[in-house]
Structure 1
Amino acid sequence: MTDVQTLPLLSLPDTVVLPGMVVPVELDADTRPVVDAARAAADDDSGADPGATLLLAPRLADRYPTYGVVATVEQIGRLPGGAPVAVLRAGARARIGSGVPGPGAALWVEAEPVETDEPSSRAHELAEDYRKVVIAILQRRNAWQVIDNVQRITDPSDLADLAGWAPYLSNEQKRELLETAGVEERLTRVLAWAREHFAELEVTEKISEDVREGMDKRQREFLLREQLAAIRKELGEGEPDGTEDYRARVEAADLPDDVRDAALREVGKLERASDQAPEAGWIRTWLDTVLELPWSVRTEDTTDVAAARAVLDADHHGLDDVKDRITEYLAVRARRAERGLQVVGGRGSGAVLALVGPPGVGKTSLGESVAHALGRKFVRVALGGVRDEAEIRGHRRTYVGALPGRLVRAISEAGSMNPVVLLDEIDKVGSDYRGDPAAALLEVLDPAQNHTFRDHYLEVDLDLSDVVFLATANVVESIPDALLDRMEVVTLDGYTEDDKVSIARTHLLPRQLERAALDEAEVVVEDEALRSVAASYTREAGVRQLERALARVLRKAATRLASGEAAPLTVDASTLRDYLGRPRFTPETAERTAVPGVATGLAVTGTGGDVLFIEATSMPGERGLHLTGQLGEVMKESAQIALSYLRAHGAEHGVDATALDRSLHLHVPAGAVPKDGPSAGVTMVTALASLATGRPVRHDVAMTGEVTLNGRVLPIGGVKQKLLAAQRAGATTVFIPARNEPDLDDVPAEVLEALDVRPVADVAEILALALEDAAAGEPESPRTAGFTAA
């Protein structure tokens, strides 16, 4: 038995070298120390020069090497590119022992030679069989020179180790041969692997022959397509074309029982149908759609309620109602999960929230934050302008170009059965001869029904009960009542001036700085400038125009920096005009109400709350009331009621009814904008009373509310939006209906501190407090005795 050798270890990554192989090894920082150590050891050896010897072992990803080959450095030279290389000849197998100290930077180990047994008669038989299979494989490649070398090898062990050159063997298989000492066992393995490869070659050749026989005189392109189809059919890879592939896919897919039965029925129809029949294409498309849906995929909801609330707080300022609702939803799901109750699926488990508010308040972006907080996938479905019911329920499969509805496509796009689906602009869904999409949404948004939603294209039940639906709308009145009844409305009324400054500082300004390629060290925007932009340049409920104004400021700042101005540039209230020009909005309430007959009302539009000036004048002529300003039927009736009330009860308030027995004209400016709604009655009464008495309305007073013929003030909606608009317009005193007093709980505290909100039950209270004293030349302050008397 040969003694144990001490050799430097050279491990080659992803390369297995078997005995008898000659391989080049490029000399780099890892291999050069080992080769140098081997050469140094050879030079120090006394007697005949034995050559530089080292231990060569494979280094694969799964584990460290335990076996290697004793290799001799045959030659050291350079490649054509100039890189140094050593040519190694692999010798006998050796088992890697423990490490030992050695010279140089190489790793020295004990190499224990592996003794191989003498070839038996069985080994010679296996060697001949293996030789025949290898020669057959090489003949198909026309490698005649290699065949001559194989025929000259007589030793069965050397013939088995010849598999180290086989390209069809993996590194793991070659390592298995390296670690196998028995000749017969090695030959058994390489023979089996060679036969498998030879069978694959025969299948490939058979495919080529079949295609060539069927081709006849067709073009070369047809040959390539047929070869591709035949290869996919034999190997079962790629896109399935045959009906047997669809049957296998349906049986292997994780589908609900009713969906699997429906899919197998369609596969049966496809098997009986001709390939040229139009129905075959429809069935294939339907099967592809069904198999692409994530029937069994669900994402895990987060159970950390505090962390989810922190995500919502970080992404959006304010909006506490929405955040509280999402937090409550998470808390309930977390408790059900802790107690082992059903969390997903089932009747009535879906949450349908409708986020209603003016543009720019963050309704759409809030959907992404909700999905982030829940840990779910997010998908947006835009419904603005949708008029076809098939967009929701899908088309019938018999139509050309039929597609599933947007809900099914959203589920497929999300890749899970429980995403957050945002139905954007649900109030702008229309209807025509193609159906009513809003009616089709009734089943989708009903938690008691959407666990069996049926799309016209799929014609199978789709469980939407675990989908979190969020809908956005600008005006709640535009949503059909039946659809609104299925949603939980959360109102986003807008932001106060302080909110806008905070949002601009924490969200908008950093985003616009990044888009303008600026940083805070180059441009400094002070809070006074942000407040001035919000108040004088972008009077809105949201922050969309505010962000555009900030983008304009930063673009001009970037231009100045590029022109050579020194950084940092400071943008404050005094320099803001240089960036944005003159202010777009200036206080006009005092100017508009300086003459009798003009009152300031409050209204809610699609863009949030706004002030509404109502003007009244009289002229000689036939008794009557002329209305202008694009008024709807409700406001026209309010004007008639206001005039009738003053004619009947004007004497009680110092109004001479005969002053109204003239030709009267009531006008609401911005005539190009349609206006309608039950909230301008008290404003019309005040404007007509101011006209009749000659007493102007206080410029710092705004009001809202509907009036009856007896003077009762009726409740209205949108109190928060109207109060925000009053604060933006500079009003300090606001009259609201007494029955709307509970709505003040939703109004921010800073707004209530800035406004003197007066709930009134009778319009007489407004007339007593809103009109200036007839003897006064200047308007009184809202803190005078005339107001405090109430």
Structure 2
Amino acid sequence: MASKRLPVLFLDDIVLLPGMVVQIELDEAAQAAVDAARTSSGSELLIAPRLEDRYASHGVVASVRQVGKSRGGSPAAMLRTAVRAKIGSGVTGPGAALWVEAEPVAVDAPTAHVRELAAEYKQLVVSVLQRREAWQVIDSVSAIDDPGDLADTAGWAPYLANDRKRELLETPDVEARLRLLIDWTRDFLAESEVSDKIETDVRESVEKRNREYLLREQLKAIRKELGEGDAAGTDDYRTRVEAAELPDAVREAALREVDKLEKAGDQNPEAGWIRTWLDTVLDLPWAARTTDNTDLEAARAVLDADHHGLAEVKERIVEYLGVRARREERGLTTVGGRGSGAVILLAGPPGVGKTSLGESVARTLGRKFVRVALGGVRDEAEIRGHRRTYVGALPGRIVRAIKEAGSMNPVVLLDEVDKVGSDYRGDPAAALLEVLDPAQNHTFRDHYLDLDLDLSDVLFIATANVLDTIPQALFDRMELISIDGYTENDKVAIARDFLLPRQLERAALSADEVTVTEEALREVAANYTREAGVRSFERLLAKAFRKVALRELPATVGADDLKDLIGRPRFMPESSERTAVPGVATGLAVTGMGGDVLYIEASLLPGDKGGLSVTGQLGDVMKESAQIALSYVRAHADELGISPEQLDHPIHLHVPAGAVPKDGPSAGVTMTTALVSLLLGRNVRAEVGMTGEVSLTGRVLPIGGVKQKLLAAQRAGLTEVYLPQRNEPDLDDVPTDVLAALTVHIVSDVREILASALESVSPGVVTTAA
């Protein structure tokens, strides 16, 4: 077909296809194009879409049928589109319109395959129109025989976006257009079916809810007239309570609440509280209990497999199992009475295995295990629960632990009982008294439940780092088992048997790929960690394995490799360096992290007014110890060979690491020794450590934490330790390898320490006192 010179009009919001009759409003550009068409081109012009991304390459030749005004009163023109045309180059023409060369697109005669596609598309279009009930349009579409004309009816399709209509305009081939339309129409029908199904489901659901609401209201009215009064499905609660295995007292209380619920209306706020309370009561395992494994040999095997050492703890658990088995044999273990409940307190520094030991106990017994973290708890309601009258009330942690365990005889680990606080909300430690007292906990009453709960068959295990912060009344109800820490040999054995396999697995390594020598483990235990437990030890192993995993495997980690893997040793023996001058003595102390070595320094200051100043963030007890030590030295100056003039000078007593608070009744002998060392000018022997409180008469008073202090002395490289005489029985708890490495001197008077702890005076050396 010959090309034509036609004015062109680009439309922004519409895409026209052949065979369409539309009305367009005339702006300045449209008016110029229509005027040019009517005066110079036989009323023909080219209409093309102008979308956001680009101009179209094709347009449609349209004729101007009528020019007038729209219903809104603005100028408008009625256009009828005819054939496609490819837009050529711009040309000049009369008027203000833009003129282009338009080449009409020739249409081939339809083939049989094209007619098959047209028939398939016609069926799809009829389906769409039937969904919209557009019966007149169906008749019009059904009367179209030409496949090209049928495809161009898509210009009226509201479900096709303008960019798709432009694609149809730019696709002259009828077969290609029909294929596109068939795919698009199928997708639209599929989406419509899903949308209609969702709409139908929503409508049916709303209708069902409305119908059920109406029926419930009618049923409520009928029951109200009959005097039966069940308005909110409380028959279900009554059935559940009657079917549940509940103690008689609990069943009676639950049925009373069901009666209240039946009498309460939907608008009564108590209805929600009652339902929540009933759900909580019914969820508790009132009749569920696990059967204890009383095989003592199997129990020992489990405990030995899970933990190294800890002989006293393991023996205590085996004793509990043995007594439990005997009670069962004689029929003495009764439910709801004073059972064999026991409360064990595992006290020791972090990292010694207190929490994991609780898990092992549960596994040994075959019981459920639940951990209750008490650190930072300050609200009494956390233990006893809230009153039901409070909004958001919940049972206490003990009841929730029983519910979580699903058994009335679990192992409940009360973790960090020493960190329980108190404030205006009550004292949680006081609330624990009833929980942990074997003589009372068979009738424990939670504020939320307000029912007696039998806890006598629960095995409570509490853990603590320090004992000083545990209230005495609470401490009195627990059986103390101290886990003071591990020796170097213990740490090596734990690392070899437990830590290495676990960290190898976490680093995706195997024992065949990485081997750690005994010397390397011993070096880490001796010079890289200075702790009672093994947490730092395990962290260092993890660090080493992460680096080894990036190297060539298999690999062997020896003592010489540690510097490259985990850095330089962090702890080296420093006693000889610290005590190289007079006035420094080595003491032994116990902190929340276990035993530790404490260096106490004394110095004479210029002046003649005397006096004592102490630094190092000391507590009141240690300040009193310093004053007692100075008083003892003043009272026995002649006996000790100290010049009275020296005591006229001010004395400064300092305990390094001032950022760490320090207090406790065990530094008296160390302070006395440091003062005498300073005033005599004789160094304290570097290998010596000491602990004990001193009286004004020089008596060495007993202290606590002997095992932890001797472990700390061994770790620090000391070889001699002075202990109070009354602490001699505590040596039975100290491991034999520690006692073999230390020479322990039992003393009753501080003079015994002063006589042997100070270095001897070499011939020709004159002391300060002289």
**Is 1:759 matched up with 2:746?**
yes
Alpha carbons 1:336, 1:343 under 8 Å: kept: no
Q: Percent identity?
A: 74
Using the alignment, how far apart are the partners of 1:770 and 1:606 within structure 2? 28
The one of 474, 489, 495 aligned to 2:486: 495
Deviation, 1:756, is: 0.2
Using the alignment, how far apart are the partners of 1:226 and 1:468 within structure 2? 53
Deviation, 1:626, is: 0.7
Alpha carbons 2:588, 2:712 under 8 Å: kept: yes
Structure 1 gaps, min length 5: 1-217, 235-239, 779-790
Partner secondary structure for residue 476 of structure 1: coil
Give 1:748's aligned residue: 735
The one of 545, 568, 574 aligned to 1:582: 568
Partner secondary structure for residue 478 of structure 1: coil
Corresponding letter in the other structure for 1:222: V
The one of 546, 558, 581 aligned to 1:572: 558
Alpha carbons 2:333, 2:340 under 8 Å: kept: no
* 1:244-296 alpha-carbon deviations (Å, 9 max, x no partner): 10011101111001100100000000000011211000000000000000000
Alpha carbons 1:617, 1:664 under 8 Å: kept: yes
Deviation, 1:775, is: 1.4
Change in Cα spacing, 1:411 to 1:643, as seen in structure 2 (3 Å) is same
Using the alignment, how far apart are the partners of 2:512 and 2:268 within structure 1? 69
Using the alignment, how far apart are the partners of 2:213 and 2:439 within structure 1? 48
Corresponding letter in the other structure for 2:711: L
Give the aligned CA root-mean-square deviation in angstroms. Answer: 2.0
**Is 1:642 matched up with 2:629?**
yes
Corresponding letter in the other structure for 1:501: V
The one of 357, 365, 368 aligned to 2:359: 368
Give 2:253's aligned residue: 262
The one of 707, 716, 722 aligned to 1:720: 707
Deviation, 1:346, is: 2.0
Change in Cα spacing, 1:507 to 1:241, as seen in structure 2 (3 Å) is farther
Give 1:512's aligned residue: 503
The one of 640, 645, 653 aligned to 1:666: 653
Deviation, 1:657, is: 3.7
The one of 321, 324, 327 aligned to 1:330: 321
Change in Cα spacing, 1:232 to 1:505, as seen in structure 2 (3 Å) is farther
Partner secondary structure for residue 560 of structure 2: coil
Partner secondary structure for residue 574 of structure 1: helix
Alpha carbons 2:232, 2:262 under 8 Å: kept: no
Change in Cα spacing, 1:447 to 1:696, as seen in structure 2 (3 Å) is same
Change in Cα spacing, 1:698 to 1:269, as seen in structure 2 (3 Å) is same
Give 2:725's aligned residue: 738
The one of 317, 326, 329 aligned to 2:308: 317
Partner secondary structure for residue 550 of structure 2: helix
Give 2:102's aligned residue: none
The residue correspondences of 1:241-260 to structure 2 (distance < 5 A) are 242-260=233-251
Change in Cα spacing, 1:348 to 1:303, as seen in structure 2 (3 Å) is closer
**Is 1:604 matched up with 2:604?**
no
Alpha carbons 1:653, 1:768 under 8 Å: kept: no
Using the alignment, how far apart are the partners of 1:230 and 1:770 within structure 2? 95
Corresponding letter in the other structure for 2:655: V
**Is 1:707 matched up with 2:694?**
yes
Using the alignment, how far apart are the partners of 1:386 and 1:777 within structure 2? 65
Aligned length: 551
Alpha carbons 1:348, 1:448 under 8 Å: kept: no
Deviation, 1:650, is: 2.7
Corresponding letter in the other structure for 2:318: T
**Is 1:593 matched up with 2:550?**
no
Corresponding letter in the other structure for 1:460: L
Change in Cα spacing, 1:690 to 1:777, as seen in structure 2 (3 Å) is farther
Alpha carbons 1:715, 1:738 under 8 Å: kept: yes
Alpha carbons 1:694, 1:774 under 8 Å: kept: no
Give 1:397's aligned residue: 388
Give 2:605's aligned residue: 619
Using the alignment, how far apart are the partners of 2:326 and 2:335 within structure 1? 13
Partner secondary structure for residue 645 of structure 2: helix
Q: 346-355 or 260-269: which moved more?
A: 346-355
Change in Cα spacing, 1:347 to 1:395, as seen in structure 2 (3 Å) is same
* 1:477-525 alpha-carbon deviations (Å, 9 max, x no partner): 1100000000001000000000000000000000000000000111111
Deviation, 1:342, is: 2.4
The residue correspondences of 1:649-688 to structure 2 (distance < 5 A) are 649-688=636-675
Deviation, 1:370, is: 0.3
Partner secondary structure for residue 530 of structure 2: coil
Deviation, 1:226, is: 6.4
Using the alignment, how far apart are the partners of 2:212 and 2:416 within structure 1? 47
Corresponding letter in the other structure for 1:570: T
* 1:59-113 alpha-carbon deviations (Å, 9 max, x no partner): xxxxxxxxxxxxxxxxxxxxxxxxxxxxxxxxxxxxxxxxxxxxxxxxxxxxxxx
Change in Cα spacing, 1:420 to 1:659, as seen in structure 2 (3 Å) is same
Give 2:280's aligned residue: 289
Alpha carbons 2:344, 2:460 under 8 Å: kept: yes
Give 2:538's aligned residue: 547
Give 1:88's aligned residue: none
Change in Cα spacing, 1:559 to 1:457, as seen in structure 2 (3 Å) is same
Using the alignment, how far apart are the partners of 2:349 and 2:704 within structure 1? 14
**Is 1:525 matched up with 2:509?**
no
Alpha carbons 2:585, 2:673 under 8 Å: kept: yes
Using the alignment, how far apart are the partners of 2:528 and 2:234 within structure 1? 66
Corresponding letter in the other structure for 1:376: R
Give 1:485's aligned residue: 476
Give 1:788's aligned residue: none
Change in Cα spacing, 1:758 to 1:228, as seen in structure 2 (3 Å) is farther
Using the alignment, how far apart are the partners of 2:306 and 2:618 within structure 1? 40
Structure 1 length as normaliser, TM-score?
0.68
